[in-house]
Amino acid sequence: MDGGWSETMDATEETQRICDQVKGPVEKQTGKNYRVYTAVKYRMQIVAGENLIIKVHVGGADYIHLSVFQELPCNGGKTVLSGVEQHQTKDSPLVPFTN
């Protein structure tokens, strides 16, 4: 449904591709270089493009949440990092955020 957030879903190859596109900005924002960087879960919101919240495993018991916006192809199709929440766990709920 347009405007509402989806349920939490298992990450797909496409989710991982999106994560890989914003890895540089994520590492710059957090000041860390991630050896492990695996998309695990995600939620999406359809707007004039897609908002995504993605849970990423970054090693051991550490996870981060990414807020990402994907433009529609007709608007350029860019993938933009909107925010990062550090110090998350495997069980932390994916909730919308900006920072």
Any domain includes 46: yes
Any domain includes 93: no
CATH number at residue 53: 3.10.450.10
- Tens-digit pLDDT profile for residues 37-95: 999 999 999 988 999 999 999 999 999 999 999 999 898 999 999 999 999 999 999 99
Any domain includes 78: yes
Any domain includes 3: no
Any domain includes 71: yes
Any domain includes 25: yes
pLDDT of residue 29 exceeding 80: yes
Q: Tell me which residue range forms the domain holding 51.
A: 9-88
Any domain includes 28: yes
Cβ atoms of residues 96 and 52 within 8 Å: no
DSSP 21-38: HTHHHHHHHHT---S--E
Q: How confident is the model at residue 97 (pLDDT cuts 50, 70, 90)?
A: confident
Q: How confident is the model at residue 2 (pLDDT cuts 50, 70, 90)?
A: low
pLDDT for 1 equals: 46
> How many domains does the chain fold into?
1
Any domain includes 50: yes
pLDDT of residue 24 exceeding 70: yes
